[in-house]
Amino acid sequence: MSVEMVEVSVKAAVPVRPTGVLQQNRVFLDFFWDLAKPDQEVRLKAIEDLIKYLKTNNKADELEYTFKRLVDGLAHIREAARPGFSLALGQVLSAFEDVSLQSVLKRIKEKHNLQTVKKKLVRSALFGNLFGVLALHQSGRISTVSIKTNLWTPFLSKTNSCVCLVRQISEEVFEEVLLSALQTDLASAFSTPEQLQLLLVALQRFPQTLKPKKLKKLLGSTTIINADNIPKLTEVMKMAAQSVKKERVLPTVVLDLLKLSLKEDSFQLFWNNAIINGMLKEQPGPAHYLSFRLLGSALPLLSIAQLKAVLSGEVITLYGEHVVSAQKPDRFKLAPEMDTYVSDFLQACQDPDKQLAVMVGFSSLTNQGYPVVPSVWRVVQHLQPAALQHYVEWLKKMFLQPELDKLLDFSTRKQKDNQEGKEQKENSIFRLRKWIVARLSSIIDNHQVKRQEDLIMDMARFVFFHAFFSAKKASADIPETMEKLSIPLDDRTRGVLINSFFGLLLSMHHLPQTEDSSEDAAINQKRPLGVTADGTMWIYQLVQYAQVLLSQPKHAQSKLLDIMKDLQSCVDKAQEKKAKKKKKKTAVTDQEEEPEWVEVMVDILLSLLSQPSRHIRQVCKTVFSSICPNVTAAALTAILDVNDEDEDDKDKDEDDEDGDEDDEDGDDDEAMEEEEEAMEEGEVDQSFRLELMKVLQQQNALVGFQATEEDGSDDEDLDDEAMMELDKSLAALFSEQKKKTQAKKDEKTKIQKEKTLVRDFKIKVLDLVEVFVARQAGSPLVLGLVEPLLNIIDQGMSSDSDQQEQDFLRRAADIFRNQLCRSKVYCRTVGDRQGELHDLLDKLMTKTQKLSDSSVSLYYFSASLYVVKVLRGAPPAETKDDKAEATDVCFFHTLINLSPDKIISKALSSFLSKRKSPLTTQMFTDLFNRFPVLCVNLLDAVTQHITSAVRVHQQVKIYHPFPQQEPLIRRIPDLQLREKKKKRN
């Protein structure tokens, strides 16, 4: 319906002169200043106040000035100002309907004319046109006015904002006014993304106007998506992909095309020809990313059959390859966008079947058996309970009966080159099962997942059963025995299951209780953790399930029964030992031959530490800390034997003997070339040489070669058939030699892996040493740790090592120096072991002087100070004032009796007399600070070197450690005199 509007005299050409009230009204002018401010609230308030002011005063000159300022502000240099003036212009036009839209449009054209504007102001003029059209849209009056076609046509072609107009106007206005004006753009829909977008929006808004006959006249076909138009649509989508390369978004025109294909029932044609055979044929880049984004956006629009087809095709396969290749740093990653698409779809979709189809589709996309989506994919929290139940059943089925042919599996180029049939299949099955176990554990760990208690217990039982048991016979009481494994579990898979089970226990211990539906439950009451709705602990339910499994050995068999029996035996013996402590012990030969219970426990802990599980590692530390007070010398020796370096020394000697071979081998790519060069030079294995001579003799080639060498003739003694036989024999011989060479390399790789596992095991065993030092620092057994730890440090620092070796060395050094030597708690009751400690001190100090590396020498010197501290013993129970002095006197006499001062004096003399000594000034400074009494017995050695020192470096060494000890040295005679008085009294 067309309504003729009355045009108010809004003069565009005559300039407005701010005279009279306008010149003096600052309140009115402040409205326009506020429109340009960056604060949105200020701009909205200014628009509201401006309209109220104009309606209240109702002055023609102020209205005329308002339109001038608002049209000028459309091209404002401030980015935040342009929307403010555009919105204000739209609201003023809506409030004053007597003002003609045609006059305002004419004013916009004249003010922001692209033909007459200066070159440097073209950008501002373009913004002025754009925001001017938006202002007319926001006025809400376009659909009620009949606009002259010749006025709009050039304006629309320049601003490219006709899509916004088509979205706003009615079908009647479009048919009467804009259809003829946009005839050229609609007919050229396959030229640019913008023109195609205009056609698609018009089809969505006005299907009755753009009927098939009209489309036939415009485009030459009654439909948009058909076999003839697919190449054109593909080119347009490629242009659209390039246009949003920086924005990294899905162009609207592509999503509209997908919707149109569903409406025209041509989705399969569009997806296969335009996307798969069109966009994906381009090099990886914007075209591929557009296809991946379209896949994510299409999920809510497709049926179940279409979802299954799309999620098992080439688009998602290439998406999986992108995810794998994008793991490298500085690569663009589209996976977060896809996670958002899937999360939004699952959150909005209420159909469990569609949710299940999407989850199974993405979980079936695997790289050599391992799904590309993470095992902790949090989108699972949006699944409906029914969909989650079926998804868990699918996971369990794939674990029990891996069907790789039903997965959408792919391999990278490097992986394809290394594929080897059976081994590759076994590895793929292991990777798939590893992911499934982690997936089940993450579902339990995620508190946002809508899961029932029965489902949680079902998954926990599944992991527990396959981690520790195997089904021998089906039983109705044990559902896990009803379905057997199509492929048995290997040791690696069981290790993953055991590791996941311990993590699962921790997750179940922190599970919040399900919400109570009873009316008596408090709304804000804190829910307990680790219990079910009826108050039963989750772990107790697993214990009951384990009891059922152990009570039915005919149906379920466990490999851990022997270990559990040993543990039970250890517990019984420990309790028996405590009960018999007060009774008189009887010597029984059989009992003496049996090891102590704590020794058995240590052996079990060491065997458990050999498994690659951080949870088992933590459990072992906790258990060992509780049995530390009962650890015997034999148990501690068993721990230290693990870190014995004798075997490592043997391996090191073997490595030295084979060092030349390692150098010749090099890396895998150059090994064969170097071997061929060695063969050409005559450096060949003698056995291989003999085999080669034997082959040549069998074919009479060697005789012919010798005869040719003697007479100098070039005649060939072998015919073609004999040469072929010789070639076959030589090929077989060299092939066998190549296999032997490869076997040697594989053996070296295997040995290296074993060394890595052994070193990792030793690092874990250091946990037990650290726990023992921390909890039993006052035990005499700690003294037995000094030399083993020093041996580790010495051998580790004297050899080149990799990162793992350095970690092991760093850990051992930290335990020795920071937790053993510097501990405030130490053994203070040496008893009759003073002579043994004196020998140890002598041995350590001698070793300190013989070392060539000062850094290693420092550790041995620290050990010597620790032994001196132990020799000092516990301080006597004296008064607070006399405690330190009496302690020094007692320690002084101890030193006199055992003569450790001679050992230290000898070391000091070596330090002062040798220019290059492993001993340092800091070592003796630390010694005198901690044990100032030793200064007395060392004065003679110092005095001797003071008189005989003729070199500067000797004088510096002498005077450096002692100035701070002078007050302490002077106190020694007083301490001795006070001690004599106490003995007399």
Tell which wins on pLDDT, 740 or 230: 230
pLDDT, greater one: 870 or 459: 459
Residues 6+ apart with CB under 8 A from 524: none
pLDDT at 755: 82
Beta bridge pairs of residue 3 = 145
| Candidate from 31-40, 179-188, 923-932 with smallest mean pLDDT | 923-932
What is the pLDDT confidence band of residue 900, given thresholds at 50, 70 and 90? Answer: low
All residues at 6 or more sequence positions from 600 whose CB lies less than 8 Å from its CB, including other chains: 566, 569, 570
Q: Which residue has the tokens 């138009």?
A: 229
Separation of alpha carbons 891 and 894, rounded Å: 5
Short-list 408, 303, 403, 425, CA closest to 363: 408
Q: Which residue has the higher pLDDT, 250 or 412?
A: 250
Residue with the larger pLDDT of the pair 358 and 519:
358
Euclidean distance between CA atoms 869 and 863, whole angstroms: 10
Do 950 and 913 contact (CB within 8 A), yes or no? no
Is the Cα torsion angle 492, 494, 495, 497 positive or negative in sign? Answer: positive
Q: How far is CA 635 from CA 195, 621, 785, 836, in A?
A: 83, 15, 13, 21
In tens, the pLDDT along 593-612 reads 578 888 888 888 888 888 77
What mean pLDDT is predicted for residues 467-493?
87
What percent of the chain has pLDDT above 70?
Answer: 71
Q: What is the largest CA-CA distance in the chain?
A: 130
Spatial neighbors of 617 by CB under 8 A, at least 6 apart, are: 609, 764, 767
Most confident of 508-517, 933-942, 950-959: 508-517
Tell me the pairing of strands 408-410 and 469-471.
Answer: unpaired
The band of 826, judged by pLDDT with boundaries at 50, 70 and 90, is: confident
pLDDT band at 391 (very low <50, low <70, confident <90, very high): very high
Structure tokens at 575: 């309790």
**770-807 per-position pLDDT tens digit:** 888 888 888 888 888 888 888 888 887 766 667 778 88
Checking if the pLDDT of 451 tops 90, the result is no
Sheet holding 370-371: strands in order across?
370-371, 365-367, 408-410
- Report the percent of the chain where pLDDT is more than 90: 22
139 burial type by CB count under 10 A (0-12 exposed, 13-18 middle, 19+ buried): buried
Per-residue pLDDT at 94: 87
User: Which ranges of 899-965 does DSSP label H, i.e. alpha helix?
Assistant: 900-913, 921-930, 934-937, 939-948, 952-959
Question: What would the two tokens of residue 44 be?
Answer: 């909205």
* CB of 865 closer than 8 Å to CB of 929: no
Q: Is the pLDDT of residue 31 over 70?
A: yes
**Can you tell me the distance from the alpha carbon of 28 to that of 22, in angstroms, rounded to the nearest whole number?**
8
pLDDT score, position 563: 58
- Indicate the range of 45-54, 82-91, 681-690, 770-779 predicted with least confidence: 681-690
User: Across all residues in the chain, what is the average pLDDT?
Assistant: 77
78 vs 423, higher pLDDT: 78
Mean of pLDDT values over 973-979:
52
- 503 against 147, higher pLDDT: 503
Beta carbons within 10 angstroms of residue 200's beta carbon:
20
* Residue 647 confidence (pLDDT): 46
Q: Does the pLDDT at position 369 exceed 90?
A: yes
Return the closest-CA partner of residue 319 out of 349, 275, 354.
Answer: 275
pLDDT of residue 760 exceeding 50: yes
Whether 889 shows a pLDDT value over 70: the answer reads: no
833 pLDDT exceeds 70? Answer: yes
Q: What is the dihedral of CA 411, 416, 421, 424, to 10 degrees?
A: -50
- First-to-last CA distance in the chain? 127
Neighbours of 317 (CB within 10 A): 15
Q: DSSP class of residue 718?
A: S
Q: Report which listed range, 6-15, 687-696, 851-860, is most confident.
A: 851-860
pLDDT of residue 684 exceeding 60: no
**Confidence (pLDDT) at 365:** 96
**In whole angstroms, what is the distance from residue 31 CA to residue 54 CA?**
11
Beta-strand relationship, 408-410 and 365-367:
parallel
- Between CA 862 and CA 50 the distance in angstroms is 84
> Does the pLDDT value for residue 711 go beyond 80?
no
Mean pLDDT for 3-24 is 42
Top pLDDT among 811 and 367 is at 367
- Cβ count near 576 (within 10 Å): 10
Nearest C-alpha neighbor of 953 from the set 916, 983, 908, 980 = 916
Confidence of residue 873 (pLDDT cuts 50, 70, 90): low
Q: Could you tell me the pTM of the whole model?
A: 0.59
Alpha-carbon distance 931 to 953, whole Å?
A: 25
- Give per-residue burial for 142-180: e unless 16+ CB within 10 Å, then b: bebbebeeeebbebbebbbbbbbbbebbeeebbeebbbe
Query: Do residues 935 and 965 make contact, with C-beta atoms less than 8 angstroms apart?
Result: yes
Pairing status of strand 556-558 against strand 469-471: antiparallel
pLDDT value, residue 277: 94
Residue showing tokens 């120096």: 817
Task: Count the Cβ atoms, other than its own, within 10 Å of residue 827.
Answer: 21
Nearest to 179 by CA among 159, 144, 205: 205
- Quick one: angle between helices 230-243 and 252-263, nearest 10? 150
Q: Is 384 a residue whose pLDDT tops 90?
A: yes
Bigger pLDDT: 98 vs 342: 342
DSSP collapsed to 3 states, 295-345? HHHHHHHCCHHHHHHHCCCHHHHHHHHHHHHCCCCCCCCCHHHHHHHHHHH
Q: Could you tell me how many residues make up the chain?
A: 985
Highest mean pLDDT among 340-354, 472-486, 821-835, 880-894: 340-354
Residue at token pair 């339990």: 444
Helix (H, G, I), strand (E, B) or coil at 704: helix
Residue range 506-523: mean pLDDT, rounded: 66
- Does the pLDDT value for residue 665 go beyond 70? no
Cβ–Cβ under 8 Å, residues 831 and 876: no
Q: Which amino acid is at 897?
A: N
pLDDT at 10: 41
Beta-carbon neighbour count of residue 694 at 10 Å?
Answer: 12
Query: What separation in angstroms does the CA of 543 have from each of 461, 464, 466, 509, 548?
Result: 10, 11, 15, 13, 9
- Listing DSSP states for 87-133 in one string gives HHHHHHHHH-TTS-HHHHHHHHHHHT-TTTS-GGGHHHHHHHHHHHH
Low-confidence winner among 274-283, 320-329, 671-680 (lowest mean pLDDT)? 671-680
User: What are the tokens at 240?
Assistant: 């659209």
Do residues 186 and 203 touch, judged by C-beta distance below 8 A? no
Please tell me the predicted confidence (pLDDT) of residue 815.
87
Residues 343, 344, 350, 355: what is their CA dihedral angle, to the nearest 10 degrees?
A: -40
pLDDT, residue 667, reads 45
Q: How confident is the model at residue 361 (pLDDT cuts 50, 70, 90)?
A: very high
Instruction: Indicate the range of 418-432, 738-752, 873-887, 919-933 predicted with least confidence.
Output: 873-887
pLDDT bin (cut points 50, 70, 90) of residue 454 is very high
CA gap 829, 811 in Å, rounded: 28
User: Which residues share a beta bridge with 410?
Assistant: 367
Confidence of residue 680 (pLDDT cuts 50, 70, 90): very low
- DSSP string spanning 391-443? HHHHHHHHHHS--GGGSEEE--HHHHHT--HHHHHHHHHHHHHHHHHHHHHHH
φ, ψ of residue 475 in degrees (nearest 5): -140, 135
Q: How far apart are CA 440 and CA 296, in angstroms?
A: 25
Lowest mean pLDDT among 487-491, 649-653, 804-808: 649-653
| Rg of the chain, C-alpha, whole Å | 44
**Residue 9 pLDDT > 60, yes or no?**
no
Q: What are phi and psi of 120, to 5 degrees?
A: -75, -10
Identify which has the larger pLDDT, 473 or 408.
408
Query: What's the burial of 948, exposed, middle or buried (CB within 10 Å: 0-12/13-18/19+)?
Result: exposed
Question: What is the separation of C-alpha 686 from the centre of its chain, rounded to a whole number of angstroms?
Answer: 51
Q: How confident is the model at residue 945 (pLDDT cuts 50, 70, 90)?
A: low
Quick check: 262 pLDDT over 90? yes
